[in-house]
């Protein structure tokens, strides 16, 4: 809380995703593309295949423009954005992994120098020297993945580091190797997809057919590595994380499932490309790239969201509160910890506790979640945030501060009373009890009379930890009771 | 369970400072080559010398210079964040959109430099426009950096500005803090650019004269703005005068004059070395000013030090290998020529 909070009208997740997904897409291509270029050049030179060498020159032009410019700068962009969105987590990572990043920088310098020399060296360097530079490029690029992979994997699975604090324990963490193989597979797959885009621009010919099939092979080999290592990766994530995700985080699991379907779609599209090799249209190559981007986006979304409520599992919560300090904040009050204030306590508390993930009306909006309710109810929900579905961090402040957030939110919600039973359930109960999913209590309503249910609502705050008191008016209560009876009837015994 | 603490430095402060100053100087060399070079090529274009072969050759190096500027900029940003992240991140958040805008602008600059270096049209109109666009982008980036890093030295002002507007749309209003400093840096870039163009065009009297004019003129103007900036530091001036940085600066000034002398004698190796060391002393002085401005609000020595020597040793090995491989590749290029 020593940092100001950047109050933007969008969700932080969207801002992060825009830069990060595009960067990882390009940077993985930059690695796989390097391998594709040098291996293919090696084969072409040995066979005296000038047509392929010309193709590689075209590919390396696109490669230089996309990876050197866009890849390098969006990489710096990730630095910029993480410092803006979660400075505390960035601070923790910097202090622990600065030498890891410094090592990665040395590879980055070699990679960029080699890429420039390779690109400009087609006509100037001897074949042997050009190939040497190509291999230097690929090795440096892959080594930079070797390093950054440790830090990225650490954020999901810090492993023994949480006990020892040792750099190497954090670096070679439980998902390190599976993720390294997975990302290497992605690099190879993306290299094939990019090569297809360049090959698709050629007129129909034997050369085009040959090049398309060769590129499809790269895509399929990468895809096979990805498919196998993705299963391995899932297994290396501690069961407590995946178990919790399966229970209460449908969005993360959905992202993982979407991921699998997109892989199948990619395999299918690659197979079609093989069949259409001679006349592969640019549109299909673009579709393949779009599928690759969508797949990668879904994977990164899974990886980022499955570690909720943490930004570094077990160490720092998504809202930037260090786990080790959360209790102290709850006792002393969050306001005492906020160094940059705006004079509106409710707004400041809302920003530092909730805004990293929630907006009022945009992504993960809170307005519709509280429309028609009251300040006491909102305060109770804020106090018990860690018990809600979706894996939320505990509220890092006092009860009085939760009330201030409630006041801030109450001023901004719609005060039209709730008159629909389904909506009343969704707002009052559905934050924890999802019909047919997490913590479904439908069965307990079976056979209960309206009076029984009314009594249950009266005693709601004593039914379990964090349960809020029922504060709806009589008409809302009647509608909710009617809906609860309906649920009881529908519930399977 | 007692979780590991993250509030520590993984190397002694002096080591991080040395690495920061050294890598920032390297970044400035590449940046000066680029900014100074672009200004000079555009100036030459107004004198109907757009098609000069040496200047063309110079222009073709801009995309690589941009790559070097970005790449060499990563390390100093990393090392400075390690100690001063609380000031830098806070300032970046206060001016969030301007800070983030640097990335978009830098991408546009990069593509503009590529487009300009291709010179694919006969008239040169589009290439010149692209180069002008690149210069505008570089001005934005450098000014934004100066503005935010100056703001980072004023925590009280940051708090006030944030209280007025937490949306990241605040531009540092204390222009007197950074405009002179920024101008000094831009003129320094012109100076270094003059050196490089003079060196590259040493066999072409007209180009050498151009480099000489910019080297000399840039140095005089940079010295004047540097002096004005130093005077503007009035509240911190006595402390700066007592610090080792002032001796460094004095050496830097002498070396700059020496660089000029050797440049005129066409001894580019000696001139370049002196220029580099002079730049190093200025970066050190800049660092000293930051520490002085933060005195009473933040003491970098207050960090607990818990060195990670094994990883640091690996970094050193990788650093040496990096130098060796880069030199090896450059030798391959030289051999090809």
Q: What is the pLDDT of residues A3-16, one digit of tens each?
A: 999 999 877 888 88
Phi, psi of B186 (to 5 degrees): -65, -40
Closest by Cβ to A105, choosing from B78, B325, B335: B78
Nearest to A100 by CA among A169, A178, A52: A169
B105 — pLDDT class (breaks 50, 70, 90)? very high
Q: What rounded mean pLDDT belongs to chain B?
A: 94
Query: In this model, does residue A385 exceed pLDDT 80?
Result: yes
Name the B residues in 243-262 with CB < 8 Å from any A CB. none
Q: Does the distance separating the beta carbons of B314 and A98 come in below 8 Å?
A: no
d(CA A222, CA A184): 8
Tell me, yes or no, whether A130 and A201 share the same domain.
yes
Tell me, yes or no, whether A140 and A123 share the same domain.
yes
Tell me, yes or no, whether A303 and A330 share the same domain.
no
Give me the mean pLDDT over the B77-104 stretch: 96
CB B326 within 8 A of CB A108: no
Q: What is the pLDDT of residues A434-477, one digit of tens each?
A: 888 778 888 888 888 999 999 999 999 888 888 899 999 999 99
Tell me, yes or no, whether A295 and A441 share the same domain.
no
Tell me, yes or no, whether A370 and A465 share the same domain.
yes
| Partner A contacted by B312 (CB < 8 A) | yes
**Which positions in chain A touch B67 (Cβ < 8 Å)?**
68, 72, 112, 116
Tell me, yes or no, whether A28 and A135 share the same domain.
yes
Q: What are residue B1's DSSP bridge partners?
A: none
Name the B residues in 112-151 with CB < 8 Å from any A CB. 114
Q: What is the pLDDT of residues B127-162, one digit of tens each?
A: 999 999 999 999 999 999 999 999 999 999 999 999
> Domain limits at B237?
8-295
Residue B144 resides in a domain: yes
Give the end of a domain, one of A292, A317, A342: A317
**Which positions in chain A touch B162 (Cβ < 8 Å)?**
4, 340, 342
d(CA A186, CA A24): 10
Nearest to A126 by CA among A41, A198, A62: A41
Q: What is the pLDDT of residues A275-302, one digit of tens each?
A: 999 999 999 999 999 999 999 988 998 8
Residue A385 resides in a domain: yes
Optimal mutation site among B60, B67, B145, interface A, most CBs of chain A within 10 A: B67
Tell me, yes or no, whether A133 and A270 share the same domain.
yes
Pick the range with the lowest mean pLDDT from A156-160, A396-400, B57-61, B93-97. Answer: B57-61
Give me the mean pLDDT over the B278-301 stretch: 95
d(CA B115, CA B112): 5
Q: Does the distance separating the beta carbons of A99 and B3 come in below 8 Å?
A: no
d(CA B214, CA B259): 14
To which H or E segment does residue A316 belong?
strand A316-317
Between A and B, how many residue pairs show a Cβ–Cβ distance under 8 A? Answer: 204
Residue A1 resides in a domain: no
pLDDT score for A387: 87
Which stretches of chain B are assigned E, i.e. beta strand? Answer: 8-9, 304-305
Optimal mutation site among B1, B4, B144, interface A, most CBs of chain A within 10 A: B4
Query: In this model, does residue A491 exceed pLDDT 80?
Result: no
**Which positions in chain B touch A136 (Cβ < 8 Å)?**
325, 329
A493 — pLDDT class (breaks 50, 70, 90)? low
Pick the range with the lowest mean pLDDT from B36-40, B66-70, B124-128. Answer: B124-128
Tell me, yes or no, whether A124 and A187 share the same domain.
yes
Closest by Cβ to A2, choosing from B86, B99, B326: B86
To which H or E segment does residue B17 belong?
helix B13-46
Phi, psi of A365 (to 5 degrees): -75, 145
For chain A, what is the radius of gyration of the CA atoms? Answer: 27
The whole-angstrom distance between B238's CA and the closest CA on chain A is 31
Tell me, yes or no, whether A272 and A343 share the same domain.
no
CB B127 within 8 A of CB B42: no
Residue A198 resides in a domain: yes
Tell me, yes or no, whether A313 and A362 share the same domain.
no
d(CA A135, CA A127): 12
The share of chain B scoring above pLDDT 70, in percent, equals: 99
Q: What is the pLDDT of residues A22-55, one digit of tens each?
A: 899 999 999 999 999 999 999 999 999 999 999 9
Name the B residues in 200-229 with CB < 8 Å from any A CB. none
The residue of chain B with its CA nearest to that of A116 is: B64
Tell me, yes or no, whether A135 and A240 share the same domain.
yes
Tell me, yes or no, whether A365 and A259 share the same domain.
no
CB A63 within 8 A of CB A37: yes
d(CA B255, CA B273): 9
- A163, two tokens: 């006990």
Number of domains in chain A: 2
Give the end of a domain, one of A297, A317, A337: A317
Q: Does the distance separating the beta carbons of B99 and A76 come in below 8 Å?
A: no
The residue of chain B with its CA nearest to that of A163 is: B3
B58 — pLDDT class (breaks 50, 70, 90)? confident
| Contacts (Cβ under 8 Å, ≥6 apart) of A257 | none
For chain B, what is the radius of gyration of the CA atoms? Answer: 21
Query: In this model, does residue A492 exceed pLDDT 70?
Result: no
Residue B303 resides in a domain: no
The secondary structure of A282-311 as a DSSP string is HHHHHHHHHHHHHHHHHHHHHHHHHTTTEE
Q: What is the pLDDT of residues A305-314, one digit of tens each?
A: 889 899 999 9
The residue of chain B with its CA nearest to that of A113 is: B326
Is the entire prediction scored with pTM above 0.90?
Answer: yes
Name the B residues in 32-91 with CB < 8 Å from any A CB. 64, 67-68, 70-75, 77-79, 81-82, 85-86, 88-90
Name the A residues in 43-72 with CB < 8 Å from any B CB. 65, 68-70, 72
Number of domains in chain B: 1
Q: Please provide the size of chain A in residues.
A: 493
Q: What rounded mean pLDDT belongs to chain A?
A: 92
CB A253 within 8 A of CB A245: yes
Query: In this model, does residue A170 exceed pLDDT 90?
Result: yes
ipTM of the complex: 0.94
Q: Does the distance separating the beta carbons of A72 and B67 come in below 8 Å?
A: yes
């Amino acid at each position: 809380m020593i940092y100001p909070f950047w109050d933007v009208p969008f969700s932080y997740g969207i801002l992060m995703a825009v830069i990060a997904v595009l960067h990882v897409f390009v940077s993985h291509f930059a690695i796989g593309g390097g391998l594709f270029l040098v291996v293919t050049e090696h084969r072409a030179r040995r066979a005296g295949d000038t047509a392929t060498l010309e193709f590689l020159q075209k590919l390396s032009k696109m490669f230089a423009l996309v990876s050197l410019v866009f890849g390098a700068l969006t990489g710096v962009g990730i630095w910029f954005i993480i410092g803006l969105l979660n400075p505390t987590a960035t601070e923790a990572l910097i202090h622990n992994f600065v030498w890891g990043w410094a090592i990665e920088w040395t590879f980055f310098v070699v990679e960029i120098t080699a890429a420039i020399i390779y690109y400009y060296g087609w006509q100037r360097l001897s074949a042997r020297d050009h190939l040497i530079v190509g291999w230097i490029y690929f090795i440096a690029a892959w080594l930079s993945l070797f390093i950054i992979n440790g830090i990225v994997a650490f954020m999901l699975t810090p492993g023994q580091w949480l006990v020892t604090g040792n750099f190497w324990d954090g670096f070679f963490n439980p998902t390190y190797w599976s993720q390294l193989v997975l990302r290497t597979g992605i690099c190879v797959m993306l290299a094939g997809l990019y090569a297809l885009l360049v090959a698709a621009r050629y007129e129909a010919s034997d050369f085009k057919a040959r090049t398309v099939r060769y590129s499809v092979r790269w895509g399929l080999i990468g895809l096979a590595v990805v498919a196998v290592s993705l299963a391995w990766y899932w297994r290396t994530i501690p069961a407590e994380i995946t178990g919790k995700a399966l229970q209460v985080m449908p969005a993360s699991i959905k992202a993982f499932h979407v991921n699998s379907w997109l892989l199948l779609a990619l395999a299918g599209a690659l197979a079609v490309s093989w069949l259409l090799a001679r006349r592969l249209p640019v549109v299909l190559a673009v579709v393949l790239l779009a599928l690759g981007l969508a797949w990668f986006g879904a994977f990164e979304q899974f990886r980022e969201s499955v570690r909720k409520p943490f930004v570094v599992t077990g160490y720092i919560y998504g809202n930037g509160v260090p786990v080790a300090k959360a209790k102290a904040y709850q006792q002393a009050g969050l306001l005492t910890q906020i160094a940059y204030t705006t004079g509106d306590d409710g707004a400041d508390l809302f920003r530092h506790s909730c805004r990293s993930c929630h907006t009022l009306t945009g992504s993960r909006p809170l307005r519709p979640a509280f429309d028609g309710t009251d300040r006491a109810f909102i305060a109770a929900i804020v106090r018990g945030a860690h018990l809600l579905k979706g894996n939320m961090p505990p509220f890092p402040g006092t009860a009085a501060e939760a009330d201030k957030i409630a006041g801030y939110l109450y001023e901004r919600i719609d005060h039209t009373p709730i008159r629909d039973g389904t909506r009343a359930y969704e707002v009052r109960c559905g934050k924890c009890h999802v019909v047919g999913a997490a913590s479904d209590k439908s069965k307990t309503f079976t056979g209960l009379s309206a009076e029984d249910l009314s009594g249950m609502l009266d005693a709601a705050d004593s039914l379990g930890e964090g349960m809020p008191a029922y504060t709806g008016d009589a008409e809302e209560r009647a509608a909710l009771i009617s809906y609860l009876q309906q649920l009881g009837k529908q519930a399977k015994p | 369970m007692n979780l590991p603490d993250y509030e520590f430095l993984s190397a002694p402060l002096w080591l991080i400072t040395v690495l920061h100053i050294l890598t920032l100087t390297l970044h400035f060399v590449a940046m000066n080559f680029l900014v100074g070079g672009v200004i000079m090529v555009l100036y030459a274009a107004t004198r109907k010398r757009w098609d000069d072969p040496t200047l063309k050759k110079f222009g073709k190096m801009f995309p690589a210079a941009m790559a070097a500027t970005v790449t060499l900029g990563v390390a100093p940003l990393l090392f400075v964040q390690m100690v001063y992240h609380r000031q830098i991140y806070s300032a970046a958040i206060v001016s969030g959109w301007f800070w983030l805008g640097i990335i978009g602008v830098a991408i546009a600059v990069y593509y503009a430099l590529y487009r300009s270096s291709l010179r694919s049209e006969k008239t040169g109109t589009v290439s010149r426009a692209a180069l002008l666009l690149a210069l505008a982008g570089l001005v934005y980036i450098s000014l934004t950096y100066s503005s935010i890093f100056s703001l980072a030295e004023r925590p009280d002002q940051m708090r006030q500005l944030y209280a007025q507007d937490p949306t990241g749309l605040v531009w540092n209003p204390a222009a007197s803090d950074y405009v002179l400093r920024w101008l000094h840096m831009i003129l320094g870039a012109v100076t270094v650019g003059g050196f490089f163009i003079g060196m590259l065009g040493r066999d072409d009297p007209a180009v050498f004269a151009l480099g000489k004019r910019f080297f000399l003129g840039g140095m005089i103007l940079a010295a004047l703005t540097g002096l004005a900036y130093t005077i503007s530091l009035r509240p911190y001036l006595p402390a700066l005068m007592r610090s080792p940085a002032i001796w460094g600066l004095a050496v830097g000034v002498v070396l700059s004059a020496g660089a000029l002398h050797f440049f005129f004698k066409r001894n580019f190796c000696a001139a370049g070395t002196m220029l580099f060391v002079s730049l190093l002393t200025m970066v050190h002085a800049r660092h000293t000013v930051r520490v002085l401005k933060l005195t009473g609000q933040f003491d970098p020595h207050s960090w607990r030090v818990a060195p990670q020597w094994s990883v640091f040793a690996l970094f050193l090995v990788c650093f040496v290998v990096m130098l060796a491989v880069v030199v090896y590749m450059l030798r391959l290029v030289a051999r090809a020529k």
